[in-house]
Amino acid sequence: MKITVLKSSGNTHGSSNLLADEFIRGAKENGHSVAEIHVFKTRISPCTGCVKCGYEGECVLKDKMKDIRKEILVSDMIVFVTPLYYYGFSAQLKTVIDRFCAFNFSLTNKKMKSVLISAAWNADDWTFEALEAHYKTLVRYLHFTDCGSVLGYGCGTVGMTKNTEYPEFAYRLGKSI
């Protein structure tokens, strides 16, 4: 299986990327190929809502989203990786998701698999409710098959994260795919 991992943290060596790296390690050990895209470092403009793409055409915005689109459309799975900033996807990842508009039909018809990986400083039981609701809605709308998630409660720093069970959860999830 070909997996595209969309990493959205500006902290390359932060907690959400640590979890993503463990997922990737497990997936590769299971024989899958993995493409990592660091969306934080990629110039992507927000969708303008012009709909000139017709939901399945070329976007009028000329940026790196064209390359991301190609990578996603040759994949079988997308892994959404985000630090939890104010209870939702990071702005960088949300910008990429909004740009799915230009290849909406291809995504829905492809019936891809997906995973959500996130890390949060907060450890309250409600910490991930809004993110989970958004992710589940996205999965439902795009006809993806949700293959699981790793939601790292209390993972505000790499040191905190390494002292939890979440890196092992991420590795096992990747290995199980």
Q: What is the CATH number of the domain that holds 14?
A: 3.40.50.360
Higher pLDDT, 139 or 57: 139
Q: How far apart are CA 36 and CA 81, in angstroms?
A: 10
pLDDT the model gives residue 62: 93
pLDDT the model gives residue 36: 97
The count of domains in the chain is 1
pLDDT the model gives residue 176: 97
Q: How confident is the model at residue 171 (pLDDT cuts 50, 70, 90)?
A: very high
| Tens digit of each residue's pLDDT (9 = 90 or more) over 91-144 | 999 999 999 999 999 999 999 999 999 999 999 999 999 999 999 999 999 999
Distances from the Cα of 158 to the Cαs of 17, 45, 64, in angstroms?
9, 30, 29
Residues 22-48 have a mean pLDDT of 96
Which structural domain range is residue 37 located in?
A: 2-176
Q: Is 15 left (phi over 0), alpha (psi -120 to 50) or beta?
A: alpha
pLDDT the model gives residue 10: 86
Task: Give every strand in the sheet of 33-38, ordered side by side.
Answer: 33-38, 2-7, 77-83, 113-119, 145-152
Instruction: Tell me which H or E stretch contains 17.
Output: helix 15-29
Share of the chain above pLDDT 90, in %: 94
Angle between helices 15-29 and 166-176 (to 10 degrees): 30
Helix (H, G, I), strand (E, B) or coil at 6: strand
pLDDT the model gives residue 78: 98
148, with CB counted inside 10 A (0-12, 13-18, 19+), is: middle
